[in-house]
């Protein structure tokens, strides 16, 4: 590791600690050990996938997957739901969290054409036992799951507001991560007026009107 890599690692750790400090203020029942273990496992698993040319369907993302994994594991999320076009580092991150909490990940795919490759990637990562794939209209699929503890929704669609509103959150404690917030999709304030006790994470994170930048 050269000096620049070391500085990047230190900077990531500082951001990670600040991020978790913010989360700890907002949530009770936080498990720092589970969060740390999930974070480290995600770093290892995503690193392995980057080295595996056969798993080229795993798309590169900003270094946010580790934080998502830590958040889901630290809050002891049991029912985790992701809506995505195919498997991604976030899927692996959520699966790593589910392994820590004894939970499961429901990965909803809009189209069947990516299911086989997605299953292959998860199997190669050794996470087959904690991930279930469902194919169909995401809004309709979401209606089958209640009291979701943690969800990650791909907002790279014109109909993203319907997806967000279709998430049935756990009334005690739930986090919804809105992914791919770009352009006009950045502002979520108007989309959460009917939702309660959600923490939104993405380009911006909003909880009942509060915005963290």
Distance CA 95, CA 73 (A): 10
Report the pLDDT value the prediction gives residue 3, as an integer from 0 to 100: 56
Handedness of CA 28, 208, 213, 148 (dihedral sign): positive
Nearest to 200 by CA among 68, 106, 36: 68
Report the pLDDT value the prediction gives residue 101, as an integer from 0 to 100: 97
Both structure tokens of 205: 């994170």
Distances (CA, A) of 208 to 191, 195, 211: 11, 9, 9
Report the pLDDT value the prediction gives residue 145, as an integer from 0 to 100: 97
Report the pLDDT value the prediction gives residue 164, as an integer from 0 to 100: 86
Largest CA distance in the chain: 50
Distance CA 18, CA 25 (A): 11
Report the pLDDT value the prediction gives residue 128, as an integer from 0 to 100: 93
Report the pLDDT value the prediction gives residue 5, as an integer from 0 to 100: 52
Number of domains in the chain: 1
**Low-confidence residues in the chain, pLDDT < 70:** 1-28, 48-63, 181-213
CB 97 within 8 A of CB 72: yes
| Number of CB atoms found within 10 A of residue 126's CB | 12
Both structure tokens of 157: 């669609």
What's the domain range around 89?
3-212
CB 130 within 8 A of CB 73: no
Domain containing residue 109: CATH number: 3.40.50.150
Per DSSP, the three-state class of 129 is helix
Q: What are phi and psi of 170, to 5 degrees?
A: -65, 120
């Amino acid at each position: 590791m050269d000096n620049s890599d070391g500085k990047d690692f230190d900077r990531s750790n500082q951001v990670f600690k600040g991020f978790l400090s913010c989360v700890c203020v907002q949530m009770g029942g936080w498990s720092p050990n589970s969060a740390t273990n999930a974070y480290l496992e995600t770093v290892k698993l995503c690193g392995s996938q980057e080295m595996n040319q056969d798993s080229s369907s795993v798309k590169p993302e900003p270094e946010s997957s580790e934080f998502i994994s830590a958040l889901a594991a630290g809050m002891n999320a049991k029912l985790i739901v992701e809506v995505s076009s195919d498997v991604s580092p976030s899927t692996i991150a959520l699966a790593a969290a589910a392994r820590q909490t004894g939970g499961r990940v429901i990965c909803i795919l809009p189209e069947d054409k990516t299911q086989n490759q997605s299953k292959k990637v998860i199997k190669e990562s050794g996470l087959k036992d904690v991930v279930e794939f469902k194919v169909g209209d995401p809004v309709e699929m979401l209606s089958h799951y209640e009291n979701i503890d943690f969800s990650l929704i791909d907002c790279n669609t014109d109909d993203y507001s319907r997806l967000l509103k279709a998430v049935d959150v756990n009334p005690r404690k739930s986090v919804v991560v809105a992914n791919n917030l770009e352009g006009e999709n950045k502002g979520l304030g108007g989309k959460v007026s009917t939702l309660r006790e959600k923490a939104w994470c993405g380009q911006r994170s909003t909880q009942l009107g509060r915005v963290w930048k």
